[in-house]
Structure 1
């Protein structure tokens, strides 16, 4: 998020694009054949890109993930993300530039989300600085950021019905909440406070508190002190099964604003929802550097 709270970006690198209908329809047997660097910008002039690409577009090294024309590179101190993508409707245009995420420290936390370890959350750097330099007016800014990863060997919707996640900067560092309902009805709830030195400790969380549903009527909740109602302060992504937004809440007496996500996997299991995603997630099975020129925007 930008320091003024008016803009935000999210970038997700996928090998096995979990929200791609093409990957689901393929039977999820070959994750490397459904890879993606998803880029979304939020605020005035925001864009959304999520192109499902085939194995020819994928190159990996120990410190670099390249998918088609975009890549993520760890240079030893920062994650440098070089973007050259095409946004989807309603505005089809190039999204180009560089985003640099510089962690204050790297944590050692790795947290299984299921008893069998089929899904793991790895919050590498919950406290980071971010610099955005995109080729668009007003999209050169700095702010605070976050860097994590999720690893899985099964479809999310096979294990979970619903989850919410939130990362809130605090005066002491940042606090993350992961609250999930598994398909067997059991819950996974965790709250971790991170320090700027990379330290982490489980903490008692304020109560789960409902707040206004998303535009697609996704139920939303996060943690808040008793008597506080969380509020959305910046709309980000609003999809039939997924909501991302900046949310203000109160934690242990401190008013904080962070990024919140709600994921309804019961909805995502609906075949109609996957069919709707085709309009937002185009498929490009082949790849060559000359395949996407300045005039090739479809």
Structure 2
């Protein structure tokens, strides 16, 4: 993930979130044995932008010939401190123009740029080279997530037609969001009837989780990806329209994230590097 205004950075929160360009980062997470996590909060001297590229210190994203090329050169956080280096190439089947406001006033926008992609991962470590199914989206906002939301879940599940995405959120004012979108491989998007909610077991940090599934089906986690006191990411198997599918699921508890006690814990995983030179 690439951030301008690193929403999960304690340094950005402590700064008052007044200068998002002074808190930029490239977040990389690999899973399984030897998995790494990088999320270095960098200052504005590390940021370069153009219409087709975003550079944050030693790492960069470029659109080139219809592909998103991501060059990574980061240092992972404790306990496994080491270099994470290599390239990921994302090839969309189509790019959409879809935007979904997550609040009525549009203070938060979800933008699924390329819901169906092929991804080629070539990182400099054993087991970190593969080609598979990918996805590319973005979130934009003018307010902190914890100002407007208490909780949300998101899921993206590949299907024979392309992919299905669910967004469920509880806002701080008590209102809710429930959205279901189906994307075909040509980029066509349409709202669909929302399947019923189905509970998942709580995460290792006891974050509450739920997703969507056909009536009578019980979803299950098939891989734990990332576990934090306020956040869970996992591979989840569910059933949609009679089709069994495994996709990425996220649950985010913003009530926990608002706790001031959490920020010093995050600072261990999110180091601050204020100065950078491209020379």
Gaps of 5+ in 1: 1-11, 291-298
Distance 1:117 1:108 in 2: 16
- Residue of structure 2 aligned with 1:95, choices 68, 79, 84: 84
Does residue 164 of structure 1 match 2:153?
Answer: yes
* Residue aligning to 1:257: 246
Task: Give the aligned partner of residue 7 of structure 1.
Answer: none
Is 1:286 matched up with 2:266? no
Does 1:20 find its partner at 2:9?
yes
CA distance in 2: counterparts of 1:45 and 1:146, whole angstroms = 24
Counterparts of 1:69 and 1:228 in 2: how far apart (Å)? 45
Deviations 1:165-194 (A, max 9, x none): 000001111000000000011111100000
Deviations 1:136-182 (A, max 9, x none): 01211010000011110000000000000000001111000000000
Q: Deviations over 1:52-95 (max 9, x none)?
A: 00000000000100000001111131110000000011110000
**Per-residue deviation at 1:108?**
1.4
For 1:144, the equivalent position in structure 2 comes to 133
Tell me how far 1:33 sits from its aligned partner.
0.3
Corresponding residue pairs, total? 279
What does residue 80 of structure 1 align with?
69
After TM superposition, the score normalised by the length of structure 2 is 0.99
Q: Residue 25 of structure 2 is aligned with which of 27, 36, 41? A: 36
Counterparts of 2:154 and 2:24 in 1: how far apart (Å)? 23
- 1:117 equivalent in structure 2: 106
Give the corresponding residue for 2:172: 183
The whole-number CA distance in structure 1 between the counterparts of 2:34 and 2:276 is 28
- State the match for 2:200 in structure 1: 211
CA distance in 2, matches of 1:271, 1:261: 23
- Tell me by how many angstroms 1:273 deviates: 1.0
Separation in structure 2 between the aligned mates of residue 124 and residue 208 of structure 1, nearest angstrom: 26
TM-score (norm 1): 0.92
Q: What per-residue deviation string (whole Å, max 9, x for no partner) do you get for residues 97-156 of structure 1?
A: 000111000111011111111110100001000000011012110100000111100000
Partner SS state of residue 279, structure 1 = helix
Gaps of 5+ in 2: none
Partner residue, 1:192: 181
Structure 2 partner of 1:4: none
Confirm whether residue 224 of structure 1 aligns to residue 213 of structure 2: yes
Give the root-mean-square deviation of aligned CA atoms.
0.8
1:289 is displaced (CA, Å) by 4.2
Matches of 2:175 and 2:16, distance apart in 1:
27
- Structure 2 residue 116 is the aligned partner of structure 1 residue 127: yes
SS in 2 for 1:271: coil
